[in-house]
Structures are given as structure tokens and as C-alpha cells.
A = this chain, B = another copy of it.
């Protein structure tokens, strides 16, 4: 990959794992992040401290690169437009990023393209809610700036409009009675070729609205699996995304699939691929954006992923407890993100547990979660 200069907007754990894969392909790498202690800090050829949300900063950074990608969506798209015009390859495109940055635009995109999704209304301020009392129970989601369960509130009756609701542009989304939450990661290149990973099943933390465990494969009928794969590819094709697209979906009690949200980058729901699939999602993303052949995504071993979240009640420099006990368990792969500071429920790492028997893998995962703790 002579002369490729790969710029990554965002220097968190996703960027870090991208860098690990970039090393294998001998890519020249640059990372932009505002945090001087970002997880990517020491592992790129060039680390630039600065805001990926700032026009001038992104422009100056991007001009040092031949290919730009993201590990977070909340980047300055105007700068990316300009860079694309200057001939720098930007994958995913600013067009895709704009849709993904705004949950309202995302929803409208689904509607426009006939992609099944939960019913919704767009509102611009709190008082707009009044006319949707009969739409409850529902979730109100901020159109922009939400992440990892933040920026979402559950509205059960109209009294909550006053107590809990956001007074900001948001999506009011019908509460789905779902049986499962799954995710499918699809890789797509400029030619429109796709490779798709098997669905994984996500089990959320009851309080933090964060994924605790992921199961690969998901426990689905073949019919649902096939439909989920088809749907993920459909979304990727209609978005014309280049790179990865993680598609989160609900499986309703009636076995209907509804797209929840998408992310055009490596995603938490694909971390198991580092150890359990023929091609890791990180290498796959690089292959897709660098116009290399897409890798085979096949799952080679059942896997459970457990997210290592910052312990409740602990904020400060991170301490990892129980690592020796965790590493005693066969088939466990620990990936720590190198974040300097922990806080409650912050994603600090993950462990992948491989086992031919998924139940055994889950038992091990529960042990890992109890054992390997991030405190301060």
C-alpha cells in the first residue's frame, strides 16, 4: 500500500484497533483526536491533537492524508466535503455521515427507501410533544449528539413530557415490543461489492443502556437470519456506504425486523470478529476503504463478547483488577483500550470468549465480567 496515508478521525478504542490492523498491512497512519491521552496516542505514525468537529482542524489534518475514515460519527462534514472535492478519498462519505449524525435524517432515510423501522415523529421542541399523547409509550431521542444510551429518554405518559422530555429537536419513536436486539455488520466497497457478517445478539445492561454481552451466532431461525442479512445489505447499498456499516435491528415478537440505527464504521457488535471470524471487522474496514478485496467474514467459532465497563462508583485513573484470574480461563481474549480515566459504565475494554459450546462461552463470560473489573 505504497503512498497510502490513512487518516482516522477519532483516537478512541475503535481507532486503536484499526491501527493494530493497519500495522499488518504496513499502512502509514495519522490520527486526530482532542484528547492528548487518547487510546491511539502512541500507536500511529502521526497523532494530531485537535478537534475532529472543527472545520479548520479537520481540513488541515485531512490534507496530510490520501484516505480519510472515521471511528466516530460526530465529525465535521463540511471539512470532509471540501477535502473530497480536493481529491482526498473520504470513506464513509460526508453524505452518509450527515445522515448518521442526525437520528431524524436517519429515520427519514429509512422511510424514503422502504426500510422497515419503528414508527416515529420528528419534533423540534418539547411543546410539540403535546399532540402525541396517543403515541405513547415511546422513546424520545435527541436528533444529534446522543451516543451509548445518552440522549434517550423513555416517555410513558403525558406527565413525563414535562418532567423528563428533552426540549430539543428529537425523534419520538414508538416503543417496540421486541424479542431480541441484533446487529449485522456489512462491508461494502466502491464497486458495490458486499460481504456480510452473521447476526450477533445483544444483551443490554439493565441500567446503563449499554451492551453487556454479545452472542455470535445469534439464536435466530434460518429465516430470520437470512432476512437480517438481506436487510443489512439493502441498507448498505441504499446508503452507498464505503467501508463497514453496522446495522442494529429489533426482532419483534412477530418476527418482524426493524432497523434501529446504523454506524458507518467498526462497531462494538463486531469485536468478536477479531478472534472468531475469518476476517476481523477492522481489517475488513481497511480492505473496503482501500479498494482491496473484501475478506471472508465467516464465523469460525461461536463466541461471546463481554464489554468491560467502568465500575459504578469509580471515577479516576483506571485500575484493572483480576486480570490474572481472567487470563486463567482458556479461550479468553482480553482487549483493553488504554483509556487513562475510568468512570461508571465507560467502555474500558472487552473480552472475547471462544468456545464450541455457546453456553460454556457465556458462563465464562459471566465469570470474566465478575472477575475483571475496572476501578479507580
**Measuring CB to CB, which residues of chain A are less than 8 angstroms from any residue of chain B?**
1-2, 16, 20, 23-26, 42-45, 278, 287, 291-293, 295-296, 300-301, 319-320, 323-324, 327-328, 330-331, 333-338, 349
Contact = CB atoms under 8 A, between A and B. Distances in A.
Contact of A42 (B44, B278, B320): B44
Number of this chain's copies in the complex: 2
A300 B337 CA distance: 27
B337 A292 contact: no
Secondary structure type dominating chain A contacts: loop
Given A43-B42, A45-B42, A26 B296 contact: no
Given A2-B319, A43-B42, A335 B293 contact: no
A33 to B, nearest CB: 16
A319 B336 CA distance: 33
A230 B43 CA distance: 39
A337 B26 CA distance: 7
A320 B4 CA distance: 12
A292 B324 contact: yes
Given A278-B330, A323-B1, A328-B293, A335 B24 contact: yes
A4 to B, nearest CB: 11
A296 B330 contact: yes
A43 to B, nearest CB: 5
